[in-house]
A = this chain, B = another copy of it.
Amino acid sequence: MTKPARVPSLELHRLGEIGLENFAPYLMNRIMGRYNAALQQEMAALGLTTPQMRSLAVLSVIDGILIRELAVYAVVQQSTLSRALEALDRDGMIRRETDAEDSRATRVFLTDAGRAAYERLWPHMVEAYQAMFAGISDAEQQAFVGTLKTMLRNIRKHDF
């Protein structure tokens, strides 16, 4: 376990005084940049972009989700998501269906081919995850995820 850094009260300090290396948004950016880069090669091999990969990952958990919900879970703008789904549909990885209760809403489903692509990606997501958390105890990981959950509840605009 790393010695925790002192994070000074932000009201009173500038970024230079806090230090980039103590500023959580900077650290999270750097880490997610490396995580995404680690998956880049396998995504390219599968002909997938990041929004497409995130869509497959979300659909592997919540199949048949509404497009507007998928945009939130995948953290992709609706217009970008539309193009990503268009491509995934063309490649036979998803299918889109009008919602039974709301004819203006569309649900997205993973096809067998989409699930197979996701199954090829998942081991690389595990590898990138494990590289990230190397040497970090289960207890520390659990506390970390607990803090992330509180943070997301603090700032999310949706119920989920």
Contacts of A29 in B (CB 8 A): 32, 54, 75
User: What count of chain A residues pass the 8 Å CB interface test?
Assistant: 69
A149 within 8 A of B: yes
**Bound complex: CA of A126 vs CA of B60, how far in Å?**
36
Tell me the residues in window 126-159 of chain A with beta carbons closer than 8 Å to chain B beta carbons: 126, 128-136, 138-152, 154-157
Q: Which residues of A contact B (CB under 8 A)?
A: 1-7, 10-11, 14-16, 19-35, 38, 54, 57-58, 60-62, 73, 75, 122, 125-126, 128-136, 138-152, 154-157
**Other 11 A-B pairs with CB < 8 A, given A1-B150, A3-B146, A34-B156:** A5-B145, A15-B60, A20-B58, A20-B73, A24-B148, A27-B145, A27-B148, A28-B148, A32-B75, A38-B155, A144-B147
